[in-house]
Structure 1
Amino acid sequence: MGDTATDYTEITYRVADRVATITLDRPEARNGYTVRMADELAAAFDRADRDPGVRVVVLTGEGDDFSVGADLSQGGFDFDPDAGPPADWQEPAGRCSKRIFAMDKPVIAALRGSAVGGGLTITLPADYRLAATDSRFGFVFTRRGIYPEGASAWFLPRLVGMGRAMDWMISGRLFDAAEAERAGLVHSVHEPADLLDAVYSLAADLAADTAAVSVAVTRQLLYRMSALDSPEPVHALDSQLIAGIGANPDAVEGVLSFLEKRPPQFTLSPEQDLPDFLPWSH
């Protein structure tokens, strides 16, 4: 059973088989993103995160390219250039990347063709990036006289290390899917015709075989606690989490389904069953 939302103008949104697909939908502009698209993306990820019928989100682009980055041809930013931005103004790419960062559900980005500038930074908080052999990437900001955005200077070194991040961002050069895979920016590379099959196969596996609350807690543990300067607060939180598994029906089901050699039927949902002591939930 599927659900298609029509209340967007620059993206599309549909749900099928517990997977929400969010598609950049400006192929005539090679999916160049605008302020409107950024806000629609943030709203769509929020919608998927709050929907109990969604377990995984796929982010992709219509046409031959994922996104060539910011398209300022439609008037630029959403503030009066003479008055300047309000104090709480947020640049567009970060509106999307910050919402992906906060997700309780895994996100898989399907990248083909060009994914450059903001068309790449918005994918950095995704849990997976799968690429086509025709993909071309670039953090091209220094070649345009502008600056990295989407909080990419925080995300990228965590994915590929400071040395590679420095190279890509300082040079602004383009690089191919093979280099991206070697560096760990993308998880796997596929022929263009096979990319979405690989993405949806991964999404189906995550939806069927992992526990939603366990995934939600795990992805936030990694993002919010891996950069701490000591393991002590991480272990303190681990201890609280593990102490509760005796009363956790998903933990019981996980063990039973393994012993009985059957698919698990997890019942807890991140919309209502996350532990109330998580430090990032306050």
Structure 2
Amino acid sequence: MTALETLTYEVTDGVATLTLNRPESKNAINPAMADELGDLLATVKRDASVRALVITGAGGAFSAGGDVRGMNGAGPRSPGQIRAGMERYRRATVELMGLDRPVIAAVDGVAYGAGFSLALLADIVLLSERARLCMVFQRIGLVPDFGALYTLPRIVGLQRAKELMFSARELGPQEAVSLGIALEVLPVSDLMARAQAMARGLCGASDAAMSLTKQALNASLGSDLSTMLEMEASGQAIAASSDYLKESARRFVAKEPPQFRWPERQVPHLDPKKNA
């Protein structure tokens, strides 16, 4: 792997941690970061030792979104040049959305614009109690990107997605949970520990069953019942013939601990004023 300039990446016991690492700009996503994201995610896809991925940001922020300062300093570009430049963001979006292993976004601080969109591409979103999310694009006259026009309506419904994108208003963590955008809110000090524990738990699942389930769920809202039942039957034929199932059945009969166990959460006391 080539040296990374805008990201950090490490793998421990099957869990990969990808950190957006431009803290001086609150991890704003510039073309270099988008290129590195696409390249790194393609590498993750080929690495069978990675069984779960955690994405987070450095310096107390997830991502402030696109690099507006960089946009301001760029010279004039034609619509064709701008469209061609969007290919790097498209590639990163497709690589992350198509990753056949579970992805957890651990969001601390701001997740604005493309940063919010990036978090929506994860399978599970965890927020710190100081997280702030915003589809900020309308404030600067841009269209939501990084797949948000696809993901957000599927998560919150069409009318709410329009309201969030049209208004460009900020969301607190508790509202994000109530809308289904995030799963849990945690103290800042517990955020990464919870994300890592969840990822380690998911590493104990069947690779085949996890991949097949994720692919089917991603296809479900654009499919009909007949298609989904066919995916169910085909997936079960693969999963039910795996060594994982044989070992799980043996452990069940022997009354041994299961291979997969979802980590229990220790629910902390949160300050409601911070989550409004």
The share of aligned pairs that are identical, in percent, is 32
2:254 to 249, 255, 260: 260
Q: Distance in 1 between matches of 2:73 and 2:203?
A: 37
Residues 1:64 and 2:54 aligned together: no
2:65 touches 2:114 (CA, 8 Å); kept in 1?
A: yes
1:19 touches 1:57 (CA, 8 Å); kept in 2?
A: yes
Residues 1:158 and 2:154 aligned together: yes
Q: Distance in 1 between matches of 2:239 and 2:2?
A: 41
Structure 1 residue 181, shift from structure 2 partner: 0.7
Q: 1:75 to 1:168 in 2, by over 3 A?
A: closer
Structure 1 residue 140, shift from structure 2 partner: 0.9
| 2:230 alignment counterpart | 236
Report the AA paired with residue 240 of structure 1.
S
**SS of alignment partner, residue 81 of structure 2:** coil
Report the AA paired with residue 259 of structure 1.
V
| 1:12 alignment counterpart | 8
Q: Distance in 1 between matches of 2:74 and 2:14?
A: 34
Q: 1:13 to 1:246 in 2, by over 3 A?
A: closer
Query: Across the two proteins, how many residue pairs are aligned to each other?
Result: 260
2:62 touches 2:107 (CA, 8 Å); kept in 1?
A: yes
| 1:219 alignment counterpart | 214
Structure 1 residue 13, shift from structure 2 partner: 0.7
Cα deviations by residue, 1:12-70 (Å, 9 ceiling, x for unpaired): 11111111110000001110110110111122222222112111001000101111000
Q: Which has the higher helix share?
A: 2
Tell me, which stretches of 5 or more residues in structure 2 are unaligned?
261-276
Q: Distance in 2 between matches of 1:76 and 1:19?
A: 38
**1:20-35 → structure 2 map (5 Å cutoff):** 20-35=16-31
Residues 1:47 and 2:43 aligned together: yes
Q: Distance in 1 between matches of 2:255 and 2:73?
A: 55
Q: Distance in 1 between matches of 2:51 and 2:157?
A: 30
1:99 to 88, 95, 108: 95
**1:146-185 → structure 2 map (5 Å cutoff):** 146-185=142-181
| 2:245 alignment counterpart | 251
Cα deviations by residue, 1:146-189 (Å, 9 ceiling, x for unpaired): 11111211111111222321211111111110110111101000
Structure 1 residue 138, shift from structure 2 partner: 0.3
Report the AA paired with residue 8 of structure 2.
T
Q: Distance in 2 between matches of 1:135 and 1:125?
A: 17
Structure 1 residue 244, shift from structure 2 partner: 4.3
**SS of alignment partner, residue 85 of structure 1:** helix
TM-score by structure 1 length? 0.84
Q: Distance in 2 between matches of 1:57 and 1:201?
A: 12
Q: Which moved more, 1:173-182 or 1:82-91?
A: 82-91
2:38 touches 2:88 (CA, 8 Å); kept in 1?
A: no
4+ runs deviating over 6 angstroms: 76-80
Q: 1:240 to 1:160 in 2, by over 3 A?
A: same
Structure 1 residue 79, shift from structure 2 partner: 10
Q: Distance in 1 between matches of 2:200 and 2:258?
A: 14
Q: 1:263 to 1:143 in 2, by over 3 A?
A: same
**SS of alignment partner, residue 122 of structure 1:** helix
| 1:196 alignment counterpart | 192
Q: 1:262 to 1:186 in 2, by over 3 A?
A: same
Structure 1 residue 247, shift from structure 2 partner: 3.2
Q: 1:248 to 1:89 in 2, by over 3 A?
A: same
Q: Distance in 1 between matches of 2:98 and 2:73?
A: 24
